[in-house]
Structure 1
């Protein structure tokens, strides 16, 4: 079981080096991230995009690495080409460069030439704070706005795959809501209760799903003691499954900005993990996200 990001980096370095196809790679921040990843042997980049612009950035940054570059100046075609590299077995996972998320996902989800699966595309963020003694997996605060029950099942399955790739054996999931009581007027509590009662499904994955659970009872044993909460995973959650996009988005940013948490994130549900980084992400987050994508790609 990987308990922090330093340990994750060590594991990735000891694994087979995965190849990452970067769509529209002509972006300084992205090139800095993949260069660092290559230097640390976390991933082997294949840069798809405007070759002239990519080489200009590399020269300006005084980067000596001789990366493979696939010249495709059009960003839409760059996304299609990066996806094709994965389909043809030349790359193991994807990364978004200077392209809109919708455009790269359109290439990923293309019925004929994409990387679709029976699963649902969802976002998994991994956080490490000083106040929690292990990694915390948060889903989905990035893709699905108001998922229904069937979609939440697939979102949770995606998160469990990431947990398994990170070496977790038994996984504790808290399905978050505002309280532990099921209220028919609050759909989040109804869905949480339904998920928790799918015990046979989750037991096959060595996973305990509990809900509805308020955040304090998911992560604080002290809160569980004071409130008399007896759930098996109480105060020990690995995965926080949020009811809506806004909850995950706000909780994740709170961890980053209030708790100074380190983080990494990937998109799951396609045939390979997809690294999507924002300009607001720190260089460390970008690097850790590449490492996370690599460890999941190696697992899958």
Structure 2
């Protein structure tokens, strides 16, 4: 935005300027953090007055700040200094309202260079007066030009994609889920939280004394929750798998046991849950600032997948992306380079996967590779490299060369880019919810939501 000020000598009584602003939920979150005013009346997902509805009212001084935007940007503009401001509030503005902020010069003092302006904010949809008042400012003497695009940008750490997935999943019938060894507070608490959100109906499989101790530590009431007693982890995993085979449960959820034990029971040739594809893990990641969820696979199960395994990795990830609402997923198969290098096996595999998708051996999405990380997710980087592809710069699914790359990518996104990660294992008869011990409540909830949506897409609901 180019800003040009109006000096005191240029200003006349009757001059007026205005700016429009659509109030967003993120605006109110930024204001809460910057001002320190955390009144829940202003937070989009909070009931601030106990009436059962979320208000998302714009704080009065946020609306007032829209007046300062006109004064600082337009009239008088750059170099303006506030002396006084009065406000009278006539109505409330909410997230989603588009407001018009207007200032009008009513007086000017040649001795002090003080300009007096009438100020008002109205709502465009109904012309309602939100705020009125009077400003006194010292107008600038020197003509200035400024490009506000030089200002650093802000990214709000709000996980809007997971919020959307929760809203999509909560109306579905709860997914009956065998929770294996929820014997410590986080794994038990995550399952119970998902139950409160009507995402799952948990069957707790494990040692009752340890489950009850975990419940006591978080103050949870297990009345009405089914517990299937099993003394050790191996037996608990096998009993949970048996519940699936018997049609008594529709999903598995990892609790406080080693992943290997759960997968061993799942992969048992006679009593397991094999379904024809390799088991593969998919992270569904909500990265702040990214316009869509980002899927990363495989970062948890297949250590050094061969081409045949990568076909299943890609197909499972495409199927999951479609389940969460990405109808035509764009899959970037990663390597260190974007051209085929015979000395770099990952680049050869990527090219083969791309050609297999082109020939219909992988279906449901667009697959391109090899792509380096930058030109997979950044359109400008793809254009700089001269890559003309519907996937390059727009990838919604990233397929990594091996578990090292996938694990590092997922954890970098989580711990440096502040992403939330939901984890699911696909390729078995039912979705397997696989959370890390370090995962927070949102990650656990989102994993259950993704499992419920995938189950519903597969025709299980």
Matching of residue 8 in structure 1 with residue 168 in structure 2: no
Matching of residue 168 in structure 1 with residue 326 in structure 2: yes
**What's the counterpart of residue 36 of structure 1?**
193
Task: Quote the Cα distance in structure 1 between the aligned partners of 2:408 and 2:212.
Answer: 38
Q: TM-score, normalised by structure 2?
A: 0.63
Spell out the pairing of 1:94-243 with structure 2 (5 A cutoff): 94-198=252-356, 199-201=358-360, 204-205=363-364, 207-243=365-401
Higher helix proportion, which one?
1
Task: Quote the Cα distance in structure 1 between the aligned partners of 2:361 and 2:366.
Answer: 6
Superposed CA offset, 1:229-248 (max 9, x none): 21111211111011111111
Task: Quote the Cα distance in structure 1 between the aligned partners of 2:286 and 2:434.
Answer: 19
SS of corresponding position for 1:147: coil
Displacement, 1:60? Answer: 3.5
Task: Quote the Cα distance in structure 1 between the aligned partners of 2:222 and 2:169.
Answer: 20
RMSD over aligned Cα atoms = 1.4
Matching of residue 60 in structure 1 with residue 220 in structure 2: no
In the alignment, which of 67, 70, 78 is matched to residue 228 of structure 2? Answer: 70
Superposed CA offset, 1:130-157 (max 9, x none): 2310001000111111111111001111
Task: Quote the Cα distance in structure 2 between the aligned partners of 1:84 and 1:117.
Answer: 15
Q: TM-score, normalised by structure 1?
A: 0.95
**What's the counterpart of residue 261 of structure 1?**
419
Displacement, 1:164? Answer: 1.5
Superposed CA offset, 1:233-273 (max 9, x none): 12111110111111111111110011001111111111111
SS of corresponding position for 1:197: helix
Displacement, 1:65? Answer: 4.2
Bigger RCO (CA 8 Å, 6+ sep):
1
Task: Quote the Cα distance in structure 1 between the aligned partners of 2:361 and 2:409.
Answer: 25
CA contact (8 A) 1:16 1:298 kept: no
Q: Please, which runs of 5 or more residues in structure 2 have no aligned partner?
A: 1-159
Task: Quote the Cα distance in structure 1 between the aligned partners of 2:362 and 2:297.
Answer: 20
CA contact (8 A) 1:202 1:208 kept: no
Superposed CA offset, 1:205-227 (max 9, x none): 2x111000111111111112222
Q: Please, which runs of 5 or more residues in structure 1 have no aligned partner?
A: none
Superposed CA offset, 1:141-181 (max 9, x none): 11111111111001111111111211221111110011111
Higher strand proportion, which one?
2
Displacement, 1:8? Answer: 0.3
CA contact (8 A) 1:117 1:270 kept: yes
Between the two proteins, the alignment pairs up a number of residues equal to 297
CA contact (8 A) 2:177 2:203 kept: yes
Displacement, 1:109? Answer: 0.6
**What's the counterpart of residue 207 of structure 2?**
50
Displacement, 1:101? Answer: 1.1
Displacement, 1:287? Answer: 2.1
Task: Quote the Cα distance in structure 2 between the aligned partners of 1:210 and 1:87.
Answer: 37
Displacement, 1:204? Answer: 4.0
CA contact (8 A) 2:315 2:362 kept: no
Superposed CA offset, 1:181-209 (max 9, x none): 1111110011111111111226742x111
Spell out the pairing of 1:249-288 with structure 2 (5 A cutoff): 249-288=407-446
Larger Rg: 2
CA contact (8 A) 1:45 1:68 kept: yes
Task: Quote the Cα distance in structure 2 between the aligned partners of 1:237 and 1:30.
Answer: 32
